[in-house]
Amino acid sequence: MAKQAISTPVIRRLPRYYRFLGDLEREHVERISSRELAQRMGFSASQIRQDFNCFGGFGQQGYGYHVKELREMIGKILGVQEHTGVILIGAGNLGKAIAAHVDFEKRGCKLIGIFDNNPLIQGTSTANLPIMPMESLQTFCELHCPQVAVLCIPKDAAQQLADQLIALGINGFWNFSHFDLRINNPDVIVENVHLGDSLMTLAYCMHRNEVETL
């Protein structure tokens, strides 16, 4: 369908389209023009049409886009109907919150295992899953073949653990450790999330006027 590789900016906008189209569907809007959607999302109409046309024509001249149909198409592109196996490593504050708060299933993923090396919390449950000891990791992976690992572990443990997980068949990382994972293997996908960086960007913008008149 797609003629050439989709650029990163386009990919990063897809989930946002998906979300907004979901809102529209909930509001029982049947059709929408690129102009209206643009206004709602703060994009330009041109950009929206360009983006959608990366994947083929979803619209109809003179009419616009059919909301439900378009949302389904984008959902399919994003793979929301998949069931990619996900494990989470590190059930501290953040790990537990992500396990409980993120709706993996709506995003084509399924959280199937949680691991932590702290014996005090092993055996307790989060998000209806028992927290398992790290020693069980290998057996678990061999049995259930998860593809994605969520890393909620300290900075220093990240690189080594990532290598270990790749050996166990993991080829996607959602990395919340304060460490920029970089994997040579092009088949391994890494999504680094740096909450601290996000806060610093906000903090910079808050006092930017002072900075720029130094």
CB of 23 to DNA, least distance (A): 17
Q: Which of 22, 35, 108, 192 binds DNA (CB under 7 A)?
A: 35
The one segment of 1-9, 101-109, 114-122, 154-162 that binds DNA by CB under 7 A: 1-9
Neighbours of 75 (CB within 10 A): 19
| Residue 110 · residue 83 · CB < 8 Å | yes
Interface residues with a second copy (CB under 8 A)?
1-2, 5-6, 11-12, 14-16, 18-19, 41-42, 77-80, 82, 84, 92-94, 96-98, 100-104, 106-109, 147-148, 171-172, 174, 178, 180, 182, 189, 191, 193-208, 210-212, 214
Name the residue among 190, 168, 194 with its Cα closest to residue 179.
194
- The end-to-end CA distance of the chain, in Å, is 52
Neighbours of 59 (CB within 10 A): 19
Strands 84-89 and 109-115: parallel
Decide if residue 42 touches DNA (CB under 7 A).
Answer: no
Q: Which of 16, 39, 40, 60 binds DNA (CB under 7 A)?
A: 60
Decide if residue 29 touches DNA (CB under 7 A).
Answer: no
The enclosing H or E element of 212 equals helix 208-212
| Residue 115 · residue 54 · CB < 8 Å | no
Nearer to DNA (CB atom), residue 36 or residue 178: 36
Binding site for DNA (CB under 7 A): 7-10, 33-35, 43-47, 49-50, 52-53, 57-65
